[in-house]
Chains A and B, each alone.
Chain A
Amino acid sequence: MKTRKHSFLAPPTVSRKSSGFSLVELLVAMFIFVIISGAAIRLVQKHAPMATAQQNQAGLNFTMRNAVTQMQVDVVNAGTGYYAGANIPSWPIGLTILNCGDIVNGCNAMTGNATCYNAVTLTYGQSCFDQLNIITTNPAVNPSHSSDNTGIACAHTDTSTALYATPTGTDTPATLAANFRSGDELLLVKSDGSQMTVVILTANGVVNGGMVQLAHSVTNSDGTNTSDPYGIANSTDASTLNSNGTSKLGTQFCPSDWILKLSVINYSVNAANNANPQLVRSINGANPVVIADQIIGFKVGAMTWNTTANDDQATYLFNAPAASPANGCASNCGFQNDWSLVRSVLVSVIGRTASTPADPFRNSFDGGPYKVQSVSVVINPRNLSMNDQ
């Protein structure tokens, strides 16, 4: 073993051991350090966007789950409240579906709407999406009886703008009148449930003797109402026969018939900012609440009760009106807006994470620099299948 000897007189400041690194040692250490630090920088560079992507993915998980859960809670209750005080058999309407959001220019769900989606800017317009309306009666407003101003004759919704409501139970005309406001949508239905229509109020309810006067816009002579934003009283219902062999829509509602104030929960996508379409929920068209951001797909299909075969159709139809073969439809072309046939719905929602153009990742759905997650769930409104059991 080699040992170094020091003189007691001369300090060992010139010894080799005390001189720090040699040049070779320094170069080797620096080389290793550069290699390691380079790897470390690459690691951080690579993981920084991964951490962001991971956070975005977690947020999307939560968003999709939240949106679907909210819809499940609402849809299972579709068609509730009709039996509270008014024994109306064979209730016809629990929910309605409007294809492609835009009622006037809505697309055919069989062929989609090629112009609603821009593959370059990755923006989604209003007509890429459906609307789902969940119809219930307003639990805070008791049913009342309908008549004209005499109280003993029938009201005619197609020729008169005035409808009179007679309170039931403990309601007084004053308390009932306070429940009706301009813009409210009312459902008028025969006592045997055979016919119905909807009217939109144009003024607040006014007490008139023992009744409440309700001003409304007239319906068409076949009972359809084109100003109905939810499509409840549509032309298909007018041409569909009920069990009595008459149209499901009517215009005469007599003192034994019912007036029900509707409460409609609407799910739609607000694409006013087409770079961030938002799934929104509103009640009676007021104060829409954003349920989820960055929704790029929202379609609602329905499984219908096949009355002729006395069995459910196996597939979900995504086309509410009856599409023709010219629209690309070969079979199961739609349920013709006959909402009374709807027994369960299938909701398909597609969401995306925030865009990260710097990340080389591109999804294979629309090629965008973000992750896409789709969810489709079946929801069975309890009240819409009870009649069949």
Chain B
Amino acid sequence: MERSRLHRRVRCSRGFTLIEVMCAVFILAFGLLAAAWVMNKMNLNTSQSRYMNDESLLTSEKLEDLNRYPSIDPAMVAGGSLTADLSQTNTVGAVTQLIDYFDQVQISTNNGVSTEITTGKSGGQNGYWTINHTPNGQASSQFVVGNPPTPSGDMLVFRRRWLIEQNVPVNGVRRITVLVTLQTPSAGAAAGSFQTSMVRP
């Protein structure tokens, strides 16, 4: 009995071994790394929340834009796709136009100017609209013929596609569905796509 008590006292007074300390430090480091990962993930989620926010706004904006056309406009003819960039030639009465059912939106706030570039057609020519907004309250909009500039690294790039279905869901109306997908940055891919529909005459 006496030996056992002495031996226990000896074991208790030995302190930690190096390997125990190393294990503890490893666990601590692992915990800190996990905390860092969580923080990083939260940051990424906030960015994705912003991307989703932008997708939602761009979807409603395109629906609004399509809503301003009269029902007899070539842009309102059934067509388009949510899975491919489609264009088609539409004729309504005496008017024939090549209509795109897609566009691309580039957004940036860089070089002292907030810029939004949207591809499209004007007067039958391919080009892009640029909206610039500077800190001194200057804003301008213009259409430029040609391909849009290559997106810079800071730009958010979204793809919009829309589908117009005639007599859906009931006769006499058309359903317009817009799908917006983030293309750049690819890190925001988890933001996915945003899709909304509306029905109009």
Contact = CB atoms under 8 A, between A and B. Distances in A.
B136 A363 contact: no
B53 A364 contact: no
Contacts of B134: 112
Contacts of A365: 109-110, 112-114, 135
A29 B109 contact: no
B10 A15 contact: yes
A61 interface: yes
A366 B32 CA distance: 36
Contacts of A388: 70
In the A-B complex, the 9 residue pairs with the smallest Cβ-Cβ separation, listed nearest first, are A112-B138, A128-B137, A112-B136, A20-B15, A299-B139, A374-B114, A318-B139, A365-B109, A389-B70
Contact of B46 (A13, A43, A58): A58
B158 to A, nearest CB: 13
Interface in A52-67: 53-54, 57-58, 61, 64-65
B131 A39 contact: no
A87 interface: no
Contacts of B114: 297, 348, 350, 365, 372, 374
A314 B18 contact: no
Contacts of A375: 54, 57
Contacts of B67: 380, 382
26 contacts: A18-B11, A21-B18, A32-B22, A33-B21, A36-B29, A36-B32, A57-B47, A65-B53, A107-B137, A109-B140, A112-B136, A116-B136, A116-B137, A128-B136, A129-B137, A301-B139, A314-B122, A316-B131, A318-B141, A348-B114, A363-B109, A364-B110, A364-B112, A365-B135, A374-B107, A389-B70
Interface string B124-150: 000001010111111111110000000
B137 A54 contact: no
A156 interface: no
Nearest to B123: A314
- Interface size on A, as a range, is 35 or more
A317 interface: yes
A61 B53 contact: yes
Given A53-B43, A109-B140, A130-B137, 12 more contacts: A21-B16, A32-B21, A36-B28, A61-B49, A112-B138, A312-B68, A314-B123, A317-B141, A344-B68, A350-B114, A364-B110, A389-B71
A301 B141 CA distance: 9
Contacts of B189: none
Interface in B27-78: 28-29, 32, 35-36, 39, 42-43, 46-47, 49-50, 53-54, 56-57, 60-61, 64-65, 67-68, 70-72
Contacts of B109: 350, 363-365, 372-374
Given A301-B139, A389-B71, A344 B10 contact: no
A65 B59 CA distance: 13
User: Which of B56, B67, B138 is most buried by chain A, counting CB atoms within 10 A of its CB?
Assistant: B138
A12 interface: yes
Contacts of A58: 46, 49
B64 A344 contact: yes
B70 to A, nearest CB: 4
A365 B111 CA distance: 6
Contacts of A344: 64-65, 68
Contact of A299 (B56, B72, B133): B133
B139 A348 contact: yes
Contacts of B29: 36, 39-40
A27 to B, nearest CB: 11
A304 B90 CA distance: 24
B154 interface: yes
A28 B3 contact: no
B168 to A, nearest CB: 20
A18 B133 contact: no
Interface string A72-113: 100000000000000000000000000010000001011111
A379 B171 CA distance: 27
Nearest to B140: A318
Interface in A351-379: 363-366, 372-379
A29 B134 CA distance: 57
Interface string B165-195: 0000000000000000000000000000000
A68 B71 CA distance: 27
A130 to B, nearest CB: 8
